[in-house]
Amino acid sequence: MEHIVTHGAVGLGDLARALDLPKSTLHRICTVLVERGWAVRDERGRFEPGLRALAIGSRTSDLPIVTGFRQAVASLVAEHDETVCLAVLDGADSVFIAIEETSQPVRLMTWVGRRAPAFASASGRVLLAGWAPAAVAALLGEAQPLVTPTGRPVGGLAELQATLEGIRAAGYAENEEDTADGLWTASVPIVNGAGEAIAALTLCVPTSRAGAARRRALVRDLRAAGQALARDAAWLPSPYAKRI
């Protein structure tokens, strides 16, 4: 996995020579990596880092989904001048893997690799909304107390599952001051060709710039950007497929 992250797209033969391992052994290992979302195989049969590897890789800016992200959100950032992030799930956390920053002086201070509890963040919730309720319960634990980073208790899994049901119906998630004071966020899922959510596109806006009318315009254009990125990422497998 370190070799794939460091060198990018690499074929089985190149891996065998670099790691001094038989192709048959590597094939079995790479099959498991692909199944679990740590690697993907492109149309030429080469292995690249998968979505679950993005948070630990040093080459995230070169990966196809990140390149597609920057293209898809260019007009969104130009139009609204707010921070837009790309996030994936890693365990029970949502992790930012790419960011396009606003030029506004008042903004969320964030970075690639920043984590937030999935149950509390808009990006995490919009991805969990694509999971089966039993898979959400298995991830978070039936008896686990759920308290957001800003200290708001969530009424356990029952309240969270109701929130996720609403997100499924709406097609996007909103969040106000659950991950940071004074912050409103909205998130849409990036869905592959199989209809599976593989990542989340998130707007991060101070509540002082997020009036009701502007929120509607932001969500509208965020959804359009998410659909554009989904077209580019249609070939990517979901690392969460077994939980859907």
Average pLDDT, the chain: 89
- With cut-offs at 50, 70 and 90, classify the pLDDT of residue 58: very low
- With cut-offs at 50, 70 and 90, classify the pLDDT of residue 180: very high
Do residues 22 and 16 make contact, with C-beta atoms less than 8 angstroms apart?
A: yes
Percentage helix, strand, coil, to 5, in the chain? 45, 20, 35
Number of domains into which the chain is organized: 2
Does 206 reside within a domain? yes
- Clarify whether residues 237 and 181 are in a common domain: yes
- Clarify whether residues 65 and 44 are in a common domain: no
Which CATH number fits the domain that encloses residue 34? Answer: 1.10.10.10
- Clarify whether residues 96 and 44 are in a common domain: no
- Clarify whether residues 119 and 234 are in a common domain: yes
Does 54 reside within a domain? no
Does 193 reside within a domain? yes
Nearest to 36 by CA among 69, 1, 72: 1
Rounded to 5°, the CA angle 202-52-155 comes to: 55
Nearest to 101 by CA among 88, 115, 85: 85
- With cut-offs at 50, 70 and 90, classify the pLDDT of residue 142: low
- Clarify whether residues 21 and 142 are in a common domain: no
Range of the domain at 134: 60-243
The pTM score is 0.76
Cα gap 66→97, rounded to integer Å:
8
pLDDT on residue 239: 74
- With cut-offs at 50, 70 and 90, classify the pLDDT of residue 164: very high
Does 191 reside within a domain? yes
- Clarify whether residues 39 and 110 are in a common domain: no
Instruction: Give the number of other CB atoms < 10 A from CB of residue 242.
Output: 12
- Clarify whether residues 109 and 199 are in a common domain: yes
- Clarify whether residues 18 and 107 are in a common domain: no
